Amino acid sequence: MTALFATPAHAAGNAGSTPAWAMLAYLAAGVFFILALRGLSSPATSRAGNRNGMIGMALALVTTLVTHDIANIVEIGIAILLGAIVGVTVARKIAMTAMPELVAGFHSLVGLAAVVVGLAAWLNPGAFGIVDAQGQILAVSRVELGLGIAIGAITFSGSVIAFLKLSGRMSGSPIMLPGRHVINLGTLAAIIALIGVYTVSPEGGAGEGYLIIAVTVLAFMIGFLLIIPIGGADMPVVVSMLNSYSGWAAAAMGFTLGNSAMIITGALVGSSGAILSYIMCRAMNRSFISVIAGGFGGDSGGGAGGEAREQRPYKQGSAEDAAYMLEQAESVIIIPGYGMAVAQAQHVLREMGDKLKEKGVEVKYAIHPVAGRMPGHMNVLLAEASVPYDEVFELEDINSEFSQCDVAFIIGANDVVNPAAKTDKASPIYGMPVFDVDKAKQVFFIKRSMGGVGYAGVDNDVFYMPQTVMLLADAKKMVEGIVKALD
């Protein structure tokens, strides 16, 4: 988004000299962006939301190109064409299971664009119309430059680490550095101090040229330091948080460029991402401040995963057992998790649901706010498999129904159904809202093996409940077996 609006403005190209019709066009683009966010809040309206976002972006882009002096329109056109080719290619080839790392990758590009635009404005401020009568960069523009570059650099390096973790190119386990909070706070304080010194330093003064470079380097470092202590289970909040950062970086650059569209769009993305992060923190019983500080899930998350666990008796079943009980049930609630995404079992799961409905069974899908690796991950996968929207329910809307349902069918989820979150104050997930599957009459739990635990690193009492039958296998293969048995 930043790169689209980052064409250098002419000396009079700030907001004060923008034509009235252009301001109205930017306002209309902002309205379309708001409608896009509203549409993306629900799978049923997400297509309309995407369309509104594209209309708003096209309107803002055309307005910017028309109202600014473009040094070389051919180069701009080539850049747009290359970006379109990359976007179409990625959209056609990317698997839905790879969407989280794709989102993280795109966030990194937004952050990098903010850094590049900020450095360009610093090197050639006259082209951006941010100089005073003496030819020096305005003090307010220096603050905007410093903040925009810092937030953009944090977004870039943090998103790169998130991409590596989500794509499996880097371990998803938390990487703990000794004294990391002190290091993070010290680095952040240094960035703020350097921006302050840069703001008041005389143009061309001794060392002035190195201040903004130091800000950039330190911001790249803190982005890296903030994300490496965060484990895979907390990645949905991380992706949402980085989305917010990218918006604020764009808004800061919008002030520097005097571009109303960037300010409006950046503020919308930043505020909506922050609100979503807050909502998800509540869903995980996390502190919003601890998210910003980094490593919020590290001290307890994943730490117990390698410890020996008490061997407790459990019941193991087969696809045929599950098929028999499922077709005898009156109501079934399916709880998908990241394991379903890894196995790419969403299509065969929908087929199983359709067969059960043909036999008169009521089928519903329950989605936890932090299931998967990004906000809405499970909703996207179920929508890809053509699961009807009216059969998909959020936690607060369906949790009360588990006490009346005949079968809770868990596929690839773990921590979001762990009753320890309600009963064990020593558990790292204590206080996190979870599905009340322990109240269901029958529970089928698809899991690769009993050897692993969830990303929180704790055992799950649901495995050992008298009404639970463990289906130990690859999720897709197990559901295919159940579908075959239903036939």
Active site amino acids = 415
Contact predicate 13/258, CB 8 Å: yes
Longest dimension (CA), the chain: 83
Contact predicate 155/111, CB 8 Å: yes
Cross-strand bridge partners of residue 392? 365
Task: Give the chain's radius of gyration (CA, Å).
Answer: 25
Euclidean distance between CA atoms 457 and 449, whole angstroms = 15
Euclidean distance between CA atoms 463 and 308, whole angstroms = 16
Distance of CA 184 to the CA centre of its chain: 22
Euclidean distance between CA atoms 5 and 399, whole angstroms = 45
CB contact burial 259-278 (16+ within 10 A = b; e otherwise)? bbbbbbbbbbbbebbbebbb
Q: Coil, strand or helix: which one is 336?
A: strand
CB contact burial 280-305 (16+ within 10 A = b; e otherwise)? bbebbebebeebbbbbbbbebbbbeb
**What tokens does 73 get?**
């329109």
In angstroms, how far is the first alpha carbon of the chain from the final one? 50
Q: Treating both helix axes as pointing N-terminal to C-terminal, what angle do 346-358 and 475-486 enclose, rounded to 10 degrees?
A: 20
